[in-house]
Amino acid sequence: MYALRRWWERYGIQTALVTAALSTALFVRQTQGGMLLETYQLITRPFQGNPAQQDRLATAQAQELQQRLIELESRNQRLEELLGFVSAKKTKGVTAPVIGRSADHWWQQVILGRGNQDGIQVGSIVLSPGGLVGRISNVTAHTSQVLLLSDPSSRVGVTISRSRFMGFLRGKAANRAVMEFFEKVPDVRRGDVVSTSSFSQLFPAGIPIGRIESVDLNKSPAPEAVIELTAPINYLEWATVYPNSANLGEPQLISPPVPTADETPAPKATP
């Protein structure tokens, strides 16, 4: 007992300090320093000025305003493109927002926020800046369901605008589609424009669809080409619905202005 007391008097303080240090290190490791950080913040909080907090708040508000401005500019640009596209058409259409789209059927269908009360009917053609989007497959009083061009079940008669070689198009559940030619050796090349053909029973002729991205002439039973769709189906927000009219695919011709009475030039005097 005397020897233990002598040892404690000589080494007791060192032993207690080492034990406390090891316990503290183990506690910090288990809590990942959380307690020390909270203690530091509690001690230094009276010395932290409000200007730093106000600066962080002002920076966050400025970033939020900048993000809102970018979003508004993007929406404004798309609406301007849509307005110019609609005004260039001879046939009057109904502009409608996309209000529904399922992640499981992203490339198959969308829901528009206009219905038969706005004059939309089953079989109407859906376009956007860039070309054909699809056609109306179902209508309610205030909504319309669009069967997209990218749906694998979609079939469209198409033609190569340059060479007039024809075939039919089917969707690929992506912003690409496949054109299968009727001829064994079609005149087709990369970059050719693809439009709806005059033999299409669901769409008027001459509506732009996309451009040839690649060609496989050895494909059996018929040559095939991959088409990049020009309509923004993958991020569609607005679309325009038109009745299935024969002149829908005709380009808008801009007539020269007719001079008025004040603008009519006076006849030149003959010498």
Fill in the amino acid letter for 153.
S
Report pLDDT for 90.
59
Class of residue 98 by CB neighbours under 10 A (exposed 0-12, middle 13-18, buried 19+) = middle
In this structure, of 37-51, 53-67, 124-138, 192-206, the range with the lowest mean pLDDT score is 37-51
Determine how many CB atoms are found less than 10 A away from the CB of residue 237: 16
Mean pLDDT along residues 175-190: 93
* SS3 (DSSP) at 179: strand
Report pLDDT for 215.
94
Q: Is residue 158 pLDDT above 60, yes or no?
A: yes
Q: What domains can you pick out in the chain, each with its CATH number?
A: 2-47 (no CATH), 94-248 (2.40.10.340)
pLDDT higher at 154 or 4: 154
Report pLDDT for 39.
67
Question: Up-side HSE of residue 156: CA atoms within 13 Å toward CB?
Answer: 35
Beta strands in the chain (DSSP E): 94-100, 109-112, 125-128, 131-139, 144-148, 155-160, 166-171, 176-181, 193-196, 208-216, 224-229, 238-242
Report pLDDT for 256.
38
Q: Is residue 166 pLDDT above 70, yes or no?
A: yes
Q: Is residue 246 pLDDT above 90, yes or no?
A: no
Q: Is residue 248 pLDDT above 60, yes or no?
A: yes
Beta strands in 142-253 (DSSP E): 144-148, 155-160, 166-171, 176-181, 193-196, 208-216, 224-229, 238-242
pLDDT digits (tens, 9 = 90+) for 222-238: 999 999 999 989 888 88
Pair 135, 239: CB distance under 8 Å: no
What six digits make up the tokens of 217? 């002439």
Q: Is residue 133 pLDDT above 80, yes or no?
A: yes
What six digits make up the tokens of 115? 């219905």
* SS3 (DSSP) at 97: strand
Q: In whole angstroms, what is the distance from residue 209 CA to residue 31 CA?
A: 61
* SS3 (DSSP) at 161: coil
Fill in the amino acid letter for 115.
G
Report pLDDT for 16.
73
Taking alpha carbons only, the member of 94, 85, 89, 87 closest to residue 115 is 94
Global confidence as pTM: 0.61
pLDDT, the chain, mean: 78
245 pLDDT band (50/70/90 cuts)? Answer: confident
259 pLDDT band (50/70/90 cuts)? Answer: very low
pLDDT digits (tens, 9 = 90+) for 74-93: 566 666 665 655 555 556 78
H or E stretch covering 15: helix 2-31
pLDDT digits (tens, 9 = 90+) for 13-71: 777 777 777 676 666 566 655 565 666 666 666 555 555 656 666 676 666 666 666 65
Q: Please list, in sequence order, all residues whose beta carbon lies within 8 angstroms of the beta carbon of residue 73, skipping any fewer than 6 positions away.
A: none
Q: In whole angstroms, what is the distance from residue 125 CA to residue 130 CA?
A: 14
Beta-bridge partner residues of 7: none
Residue 41 φ then ψ, to 5°? -65, -40
